[in-house]
Structure 1
Amino acid sequence: MTKKQPATLALITLIVGVFMSALDNGIIASALTSINYSFHVSEVQGTWGITLYTLGMAISTPIVGKLADKYGRKKLFLIEIAIFALGSLMVAMSSSFILFLAARIFQSIGGGGIFIIASSHILSAYPKSAQGGLLGILGAVNGIASVVGPNLGSLILNLTGRWNWLFLVNLPIALLVIIGGLTTLPETKGAVDKKIDLKGLITLSLGIFAVMFVISNLQTGQLLASLIKPQVWLAGLLGIGLLVMFFQFEKRVSASVDPFLPYQLLKNKGFLLTLLMGLLSGALIAIFIFIPSFVEQRYGISADNSGIWMSGIGLGSIVGAGIGGSLVSRLGAAKTTIISGGLSAIGFGLVAVASPNPLWFLVSSSIAGIGFGMLMGAPLSVLMATFAGEKDNGVALGTLSVSRQIGLTIAPTIYATVVQMGFSSINMNGSIESYYRNLLQTRTEGHSSLLTQFYAVAQQSYQKMFVIAVVLSAIIFLGGWLVNKPKRDAN
């Protein structure tokens, strides 16, 4: 077997592992109703299956990245896959909702490190000329998973009739990944030979948990009201205090301890700017959630067909992730970030002001998808690796992933609040969706004007959401320009 063959097989192993973990929340979203029914819980209670998984991933990701740097990326990758598989089995076999939630937390510990370790391995084991393209492939895999996840979940649910199989299918895939990892992945490590920063690890983990708790308790349409609830603002203050404490610990860490997040990175403007762009890229990805409702309520497309119109932004993001990897190799990460931010701003701008029909929306959203899809894999990861150096690749990529996850978690609440405020001019006495369904069911001559009014209000309401996306994309464009500025000044 040639050297190229093991490298190819190792890459396939990483891709399959990333794809398996990235599918999870997309698949479970299609079965939430069935899961809630089987455990006799409400819709609000049922969302904790996703919320706790997100919390677990946010906390475990930077920890696993650091441990992988210290003890070996191959070793931690296989452990993560095994934990994810065992967690999947525990979820599928849960006999109560409490056990289900506990299993989801355990599963998240495995899911949190798979993408980060795969990215770190590529940055340490492959030549720089290939890194951009390979990271782009990993980003494209994430994009593909986000598009096919809900559809694949629905297919499995229809074929088996039981939501448990959504998690049991992970077991044979995980077994193949473990076998492939044992036989094809070389071991790589960061240059770390010091004590683990336990103080930093504990304070950062608890701080992230508190912040994510606040985010998960924000209520759509009642943003300010939910913020002033004692448990929310107290958790927010606790989270801020713990993060400030973490920064102080990292500033004063002794020479014999390997800092969890080196203080020189926290002082690096480029590192912090990349974290901000990561958070904003997560907020852009959250637009996916609202596409079906938008095309249904804006263009009058039936609910059964509304998901089809996600294909433009979904496929665009997949193509964009691949293009982003190629451009990083040719132009560099900063310039690629500039291009991606510009394309995203143009695409979302066209959606907001120049998409009078579904066909135009498909074209405009595809441009937006290509733009923010370029950010999903290579550019920001390569920037992080540049600022952190090989020694701290894992923790830097882990921190980037957490910032993206926070953006992905908080943005839907903000978007939904903006949309609901736009509909406040209509006296609906219920949710937007139920009001719209009633209009369609009672489409008489007297209600046709109400339906026309609804479509007009929907255009204005969702337009505000897409304008926010334009602003976020413009900030990413500016961030890429600022990161690239020192290079231009140096020349």
Structure 2
Amino acid sequence: MSNNASFTPPSLLMATIGLSLATFMQVLDTTIANVALPTISGNLGVSSEQGTWVITSFAVSNAIALPLTGWLSRRFGEVKLFLWATLLFVLASFLCGISTSMPELIGFRVLQGLVAGPLYPMTQTLLIAVYPPARRGMALALLAMVTVVAPIAGPILGGWITDSYSWPWIFFINVPIGIFAVMVVRSQLRKRPVVTSHQPMDYVGLLSLIVGVGALQIILDKGNDLDWFESNFIIIGAAISVIALAVFVIWEMTDKHPVVNLRLFAHRNFRIGTIVLVLGYAGFFGINLILPQWLQTQMGYTATWAGLAVAPIGILPVLMSPFVGKYAHKFDLRLLAGLAFLAIGLSCFMRAGFTNEVDFQHIALVQLFMGIGVALFFMPTLSILMSDLPPHQIADGAGLATFLRTLGGSFAASLTTWIWIRRADQHHAYMSESMSVYDSATRDALNTLGGAGHKAYAQLDQVLTSQAYMMSTVDYFTLLGWMFMGLILLVWLAKPPFTAKAGPAASGH
């Protein structure tokens, strides 16, 4: 129920600030930890691969919570849900900051992801409710801007905080922001009419989703450590995941009130658009995860400089987003999405040409160029996938697309890290096998490093490791580049017209 007539311009501004801050805080947390991973892993005594769980635990729990948002908002009211979710997010952030071990941190990141689930959808819903129809486009454009700026600020802020203070402060900064957002939103929206209902909850679907997705994420996170299917733990986990997900699909296709409406995949454009969205976002997420880690662990960058190197990716989206939103309808949306994938794919091939001597300016320029693709990616893709849905299914479509996109980012974090480390190990082993103390090139290398003692061998191994990770990085970006080229072809399988209004869903990331 809308009550926008009672809002004066100052109160509308304050409500917008409070709502946007909560979304900014939540989106920021998807990227702020990326550049801090090497520091967090080192301080808590785990490998870089295990450190990735800090990212995946938040992402997968956040994805699982998304389908619950609609039911929770109808049960408790939109404003109350927003306020409680924000307060619990603040509490979870504080608990993350005081964690003293990796299991503690992962547990609190799971909690943080769960309570963060409703923040973006409720911000979107409340902005639409409080703004008059003629000005809703401006409100949603502002929200889209927030979701673009937050990922830019994440690496920079995370790097600076990690270097200048300590990694717990990347979580502690949420406390004052969240409390301020709650105070502002409560003061402006507390008198808004509350409409609640008692729609039945799909407990079977929800439980099977949690078990299936949770087991799959654990497999992806621990598979490399346990040698995959050589481990009974992985075999049992895979069986649990397959059975639970099979139950989930069958149940959701037959239940009257499914927690996730899988019937939407009967629509061609939704099916094609969702595949493109998930794969494109997974690739984008992987780039933002691997690049800072490579810069810090192999190139000697501090967390701050790694954040500055990757941040230019967000400059052009901020500048271009208003124009894309205004003029996109004048073009075939498949063309815009194709140009997005072309730009991102070319940027991947550019990175595949990097060497250990690549400088900061070159890295930053490639990131800047990739920003063209990011600016053209989200809005056309979301509009395509919504274009053939009936009006009454738009909200379900937006929720399902967001759920799968978030899940794709979580899985991408695990798979990307595994591929990167696995290929580096393979390259290191191959180069080591090809070297011998009886080989003149090896002897020359050892002499250059100061002789054949243990120190020289350690230095040589360090050189090999650096080269192995460089080669692995090249392999990864080459693979990713070809994937984006494939998405150019895939998006053209969607059929026009793309004139259906995706509403609020199309505005956010």
TM-score bracket for the superposition, by shorter chain length: 0.7 to 0.9
Sort the Cα spacing of 1:413 and 1:65 in 2 relative to 1 into closer, same or farther, 3 A: farther
Sort the Cα spacing of 1:336 and 1:18 in 2 relative to 1 into closer, same or farther, 3 A: farther
Rounded Cα–Cα distance in structure 2 between residues aligned with 1:272 and 1:188: 37
- Give the aligned partner of residue 433 of structure 1: none
- Residue 96 of structure 1: how far off its partner (Å): 7.2
- Give the aligned partner of residue 93 of structure 2: 88
Rounded Cα–Cα distance in structure 2 between residues aligned with 1:50 and 1:489: 36
- Give the aligned partner of residue 317 of structure 1: 314
For the 8 Å contact 1:22–1:145, the answer to whether it is kept is no
- Give the aligned partner of residue 473 of structure 2: 462
- Give the aligned partner of residue 507 of structure 2: none
Secondary structure in 2 matching 1:196: coil
Sort the Cα spacing of 1:427 and 1:449 in 2 relative to 1 into closer, same or farther, 3 A: closer
- Give the aligned partner of residue 276 of structure 1: 275
- Give the aligned partner of residue 303 of structure 1: 300
Amino acid in the other structure paired with 2:219: V
- Residue 178 of structure 1: how far off its partner (Å): 0.5
Q: Per-residue displacement from partner, 1:141-190 (whole Å, max 9, x unpaired)?
A: 332243224214315625xxxx5544333222111111122234596999
- Residue 323 of structure 1: how far off its partner (Å): 2.4
Rounded Cα–Cα distance in structure 2 between residues aligned with 1:390 and 1:308: 40
Q: Give the TM-score taking structure 1 as reference length.
A: 0.77
Structure 1: give runs of 5+ residues left out of the alignment: 430-438
Alignment of 1:84-233 (within 5 A): 84-93=89-98, 100-121=105-126, 129-130=137-138, 133-155=141-163, 157=165, 164-184=168-188, 194-219=199-224, 225-233=227-235
Rounded Cα–Cα distance in structure 1 between residues aligned with 2:383 and 2:127: 11
- Give the aligned partner of residue 474 of structure 1: 485
Secondary structure in 2 matching 1:57: helix
For the 8 Å contact 1:30–1:150, the answer to whether it is kept is yes
- Give the aligned partner of residue 330 of structure 1: 327
For the 8 Å contact 2:27–2:150, the answer to whether it is kept is yes
For the 8 Å contact 1:320–1:372, the answer to whether it is kept is yes
Q: Per-residue displacement from partner, 1:399-429 (whole Å, max 9, x unpaired)?
A: 4323333334432222333344344432199
For the 8 Å contact 2:206–2:259, the answer to whether it is kept is yes
- Give the aligned partner of residue 366 of structure 2: 364
- Residue 369 of structure 1: how far off its partner (Å): 3.7
Q: CA RMSD in A?
A: 4.4
- Give the aligned partner of residue 503 of structure 2: none
1:486 paired residue among 483, 496, 506? 496
Rounded Cα–Cα distance in structure 2 between residues aligned with 1:79 and 1:113: 10
2:248 paired residue among 246, 249, 263? 246
For the 8 Å contact 1:6–1:184, the answer to whether it is kept is yes
Q: Give the TM-score taking structure 2 as reference length.
A: 0.74
- Residue 206 of structure 1: how far off its partner (Å): 1.8
For the 8 Å contact 1:278–1:404, the answer to whether it is kept is no
- Residue 353 of structure 1: how far off its partner (Å): 4.2
Rounded Cα–Cα distance in structure 1 between residues aligned with 2:214 and 2:202: 18
Amino acid in the other structure paired with 2:272: L
Q: Per-residue displacement from partner, 1:59-81 (whole Å, max 9, x unpaired)?
A: 22332355336654433222211
For the 8 Å contact 2:59–2:407, the answer to whether it is kept is no
For the 8 Å contact 2:156–2:311, the answer to whether it is kept is no
Q: Which has the larger radius of gyration?
A: 2
Secondary structure in 1 matching 2:255: coil
Identity across aligned pairs (percent)?
18
Q: Per-residue displacement from partner, 1:182-223 (whole Å, max 9, x unpaired)?
A: 234596999987322222222222221122112212328x9x
